[in-house]
DNA sequence: TTTCTCTGTGAGACCGTTCCCATATGAGAT
DNA sequence: ATCTCATATGGGAACGGTCTCACAGAGAAA
């Protein structure tokens, strides 16, 4: 393969001069510059990033680690969106991105990145303490996005889920709904937990009746599980004459909505359905889903910008960024 | 940072011996082996992949390049699936994956990968000739997945779209549908073109009436465009009393279905709707969408396996792999 | 004239590995 | 006794860049 030495010989200068021309720093006469650039152009020479990384101790690569038990991961309607945003931002900042997905939270996939000497790491979704400790030991800067653990000192970007839950409750209450059934995703996951808490806080604040019997706890935050739990609680649901369902994410809500529609329950005519996240499917469905929007685009962008600062040892103002979610009213909810 | 030299000093051997212990090749006494491994364990030493790549001229990285004009890319219900499969396969084969998405087909993003010296490249979606030429010049092995161009010699993996289109026609005809309206995605794209051709071939073979007036050509293969074109042809649709709609992908079909349902047309009661791809949304919707399944999982896996062969200079049997699609009958179609 | 500064250039160390080669030792064959 | 051969080890070049440093010439300031 072509290298800088070959360019140097062909243009009749030393490799030092070639290096200077390429980097643009240091002195190089116009004459030398022209000769070198001409040869580079002719040979279609591209500097070897591996060698560069070797000496500069900077790879200009960042790693994105997504842990998720269920498929899909990259094409996941929520995590995939964050990934998309990261890819776009990173590219505009001249970083290349290693993407690793894993189903168990093993140290292996973390090591995979660490060996490759990435400049920084973006960790998406919940992470266990030992993985964080492991990564921390390496001195590689990292940022957590939408993580579950509140490890002190770890820089993380999250959605203000509690507020979102509160907004959802306010919206449904405002429409006149008094009996609301909640499908709550795994409470070990920060988002689902806080969304429930926010919702509960509003209801309690309003002295509205909302207690443990109004909540179904799901084992997964999937469409199937939403459908399954709606089915399982169907008798209960009818006997208590609920008029609304709130799922702690869109897929859950969509699963519930599918069950309802299969049982000829009109949405939103008889029962209003509301989700959280605002993924692409939410707006596509008939009826389109009222939801609380999480700004995944900003999450990804901020993650890149902040990680870049960490990498360049610039000061980072905040250790925790919380993004405000936004109520998106569509067709699946209406005044009761 | 820790390096092999430091390990050598601490274990009282030369760096050559340490290298041998780590790689497992060459001679090393049990005694030396133990000492070295102990130090490695204590220091949590990980060999530097950048330095390794430097001398071995193998990075164990592959690049995935996805060009797509519209958002989303990574989270796209079809391309995202392929990406997911690639990530899983690559990881099990000990490759790390660079993911790059781009909206225009620029040489820049290709260069981005080439400079980083990936061992191989997987190109997803349509690629223009100049980009292919550019990459070809570098001698980096590459594979095209679901590409549009039939460049001779380029190894590619595609779905047998023509057969799929044919199966779709056979299915709808078999159900008794005689008047079928087709929403055809951009014909510059191989898949959409062949799906239409396969469909047309079956219809003509059956001497069924299916002509140009039964086809609407879309500008994009999106949900919105499917909706828009269904709307635009609504009068035409009704006047010709069509009983079925076939979209050349699921999103198009879903867009059309949304329009129909909004206009109180019962699906599949009055009009049957059929798509192509079988993405996650297709099974979620009510009614669930009858479609033709593309084996994205296998596409991704094969891409990795074949690329690995190319990288290791092993012979690759086929230059073009065509995967057989599979009819998936769900609730959106029924006997007319 | 001498000294200083700016411009321009090349030699060579270095980044962290791998791998080839030289060397050493003890056992078994000749 | 010498010759092989397998085992074991370390020295040092190489991979392809960056960067520091030494040095040289030219013009300006002393």
Tell me the pTM.
0.95
The reply to whether B249 touches chain A by the CB within 8 Å rule is no
Does the pLDDT at position B95 exceed 90?
A: yes
- Of A276, A283, A296, A298, give the one whose Cα is nearest residue A330: A283
Q: Which tokens sit at B146?
A: 């679901």
Does the pLDDT at position A1 exceed 60?
A: no
CA of B319 to C1' of D19 (A): 47
Cβ neighbours of B99 in A, within 8 Å: 87, 97-99
User: B322-332: per-residue pLDDT in tens?
Assistant: 999 999 999 99
For residue A127, the model assigns a pLDDT of: 77
Does the pLDDT at position B259 exceed 90?
A: yes
The reply to whether B254 touches chain A by the CB within 8 Å rule is yes
Give the confidence band of B133 by pLDDT, cuts at 50, 70, 90.
confident
Q: Tell me whether residues B97 and A100 touch, CB distance under 8 A.
A: yes
Q: Round to whole Å and give the CA distance between A284 and A280.
A: 7
Cβ contacts from A onto B, under 8 A: 145
Cβ neighbours of B91 in A, within 8 Å: 100-102, 109, 112
CA of A139 to C1' of D16 (A): 27
The reply to whether B266 touches chain A by the CB within 8 Å rule is no
The reply to whether B116 touches chain A by the CB within 8 Å rule is yes
What mean pLDDT value characterizes chain A?
93
In angstroms, what separates the C-alpha of B201 from chain A's closest C-alpha? 32
What are the phi and psi torsion angles at B165 (to 5°)? Answer: -60, -40
User: B272-323: per-residue pLDDT in tens?
Assistant: 999 999 999 999 888 999 999 999 999 999 999 999 999 999 998 888 999 9
Q: Round to whole Å and give the CA distance between B145 and B195.
A: 17
Q: Which tokens sit at A203?
A: 């209801």
* Rg of chain B over all Cα atoms, to the nearest angstrom: 26
Mutation target among A71, A98, A130, A284 for the B interface, most CBs of B within 10 A: A284
For residue B149, the model assigns a pLDDT of: 66
Neighbours of B298 (CB within 10 A): 17
Q: Round to whole Å and give the CA distance between A88 and A97.
A: 10
User: A241-286: per-residue pLDDT in tens?
Assistant: 999 999 999 999 999 999 999 999 999 999 999 999 999 999 988 8
Give the confidence band of B23 by pLDDT, cuts at 50, 70, 90.
very high
For residue B1, the model assigns a pLDDT of: 55
For residue A309, the model assigns a pLDDT of: 96
Cβ neighbours of B250 in A, within 8 Å: none
- Domains of chain B with bracketed CATH: 4-56 (1.10.260.40), 61-159+297-324 (3.40.50.2300), 161-294 (3.40.50.2300)
Proximity of residue B94 CB to strand D below 7 A:
no
Cβ neighbours of B72 in A, within 8 Å: 80-81, 84, 280
Does the pLDDT at position A62 exceed 90?
A: yes
The reply to whether B284 touches chain A by the CB within 8 Å rule is yes
Report H helices in A116-206.
129-137, 161-174, 190-205
Option in A54, A76, A286 nearest B50 (CB): A54
Q: Round to whole Å and give the CA distance between B87 and B95.
A: 9
Give the confidence band of B180 by pLDDT, cuts at 50, 70, 90.
very high
Cβ-proximal residues to B182 (8 Å cutoff; 6+ apart), any chain: B196, B199, B210, B214, B215, B216, B245, B246, B247, B248
Give the confidence band of A149 by pLDDT, cuts at 50, 70, 90.
low
For residue B152, the model assigns a pLDDT of: 78
Q: Which tokens sit at A208?
A: 């509205």
Does the pLDDT at position A231 exceed 80?
A: yes
Residue with tokens 């692409």: A280
In angstroms, what separates the C-alpha of B170 from chain A's closest C-alpha? 28
Does the pLDDT at position B128 exceed 80?
A: no
Q: Which tokens sit at A195?
A: 């969304």
């Amino acid at each position: 393969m072509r290298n800088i030495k070959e360019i140097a010989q062909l243009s009749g200068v030393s490799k030092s001069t070639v290096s200077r021309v390429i980097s643009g720093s240091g002195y190089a006469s116009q004459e030398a510059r022209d000769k070198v650039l001409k040869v580079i152009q002719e040979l279609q020479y591209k500097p070897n990033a591996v060698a560069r990384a070797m000496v500069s101790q900077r790879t200009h690569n960042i790693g994105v680690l997504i842990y998720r038990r269920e498929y899909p991961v990259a094409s996941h309607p929520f995590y995939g969106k964050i990934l998309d945003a990261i890819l776009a931002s990173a590219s505009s900042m001249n970083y290349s991105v290693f993407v690793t997905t894993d189903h168990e939270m093993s140290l292996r996939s973390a090591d995979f990145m660490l060996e490759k000497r990435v400049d920084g790491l973006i960790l998406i979704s919940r992470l266990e303490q030992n993985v964080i400790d492991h990564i921390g030991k390496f001195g590689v800067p990292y940022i957590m996005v939408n993580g579950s653990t509140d490890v002190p000192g770890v820089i993380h970007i999250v959605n203000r889920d509690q507020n979102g839950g509160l907004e959802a409750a306010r919206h449904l209450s405002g429409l006149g709904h008094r009996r609301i059934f909640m499908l709550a995703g795994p409470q070990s996951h920060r988002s689902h937990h806080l969304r429930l808490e926010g919702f509960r806080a509003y209801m309690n604040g309003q002295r509205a009746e909302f207690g443990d019997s109004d909540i179904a706890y799901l084992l997964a935050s999937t469409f199937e599980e939403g459908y399954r739990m709606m089915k399982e609680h169907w008798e209960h649901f009818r006997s208590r004459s609920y008029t609304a369902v709130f799922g702690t994410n869109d897929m859950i809500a969509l699963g519930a909505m599918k069950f309802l529609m299969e049982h000829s329950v009109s949405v939103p005519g008889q029962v209003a359905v509301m989700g959280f996240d605002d993924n692409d499917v939410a707006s596509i469905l008939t009826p389109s889903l009222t939801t609380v929007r999480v700004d995944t685009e900003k999450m990804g962008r901020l993650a890149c910008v902040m990680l870049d600062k960490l990498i360049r040892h610039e000061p980072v103002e905040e250790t925790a960024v919380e993004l405000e979610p936004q109520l998106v009213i569509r067709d699946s909810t209406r005044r009761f």
